[in-house]
């Protein structure tokens, strides 16, 4: 089982900007800084090992969110769970998920 990590969806404008190498690099640096800031507040065993960014939005229509916009963890784990350990083995701080990864 993978250690602690975060799985997130970027806002549409950030996701669109991430399509260029230069912008993706800037977004990665900002995300790494955010992750370091979060980790500084956690115990060592709680540190996020990486951040996985998915290009697929989570919506009520596709079942990833409830009608009150809460994340459905069981749906996320069902959709992505088989990949968790493989993602950790990549040893990347920021992992951009492509269709094959999700």
Q: What residue segments make up the domains of the chain, in order of their start?
A: 6-101
pLDDT score at 101: 59
In this structure, the dihedral spanned by the alpha carbons of residues 13, 55, 71 and 76, taken in order and rounded to 10 degrees, is: 180
Strand-by-strand arrangement of the 51-54 sheet = 6-9, 51-54, 94-97
Q: What is the pTM of this model?
A: 0.87
pLDDT score at 1: 59
Query: How many residues does the structure list for the chain?
Result: 102
Half-sphere exposure of residue 66: CA atoms within 13 angstroms, side-chain side: 6
Beta-bridged to residue 96, according to DSSP, are 53
pLDDT score at 98: 76
pLDDT tens digits, the chain, 102 residues: what are they?
A: 578 999 999 999 998 989 999 999 999 999 999 999 999 999 999 999 999 999 889 999 999 999 999 999 999 999 999 999 999 999 999 999 975 555
């Amino acid at each position: 089982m993978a250690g602690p990590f975060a799985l997130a969806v970027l806002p549409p404008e950030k996701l669109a900007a991430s399509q260029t190498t230069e912008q993706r690099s800037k977004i990665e640096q900002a995300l790494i800084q955010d992750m370091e800031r979060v980790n500084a507040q956690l115990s060592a065993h709680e540190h996020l090992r990486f951040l996985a960014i998915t290009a697929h939005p989570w919506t009520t229509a596709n079942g990833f969110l409830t009608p009150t916009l809460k994340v459905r963890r069981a749906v996320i784990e069902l959709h992505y769970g088989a990949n968790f350990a493989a993602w950790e083995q990549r040893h990347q701080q920021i992992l951009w998920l492509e269709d094959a990864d999700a």
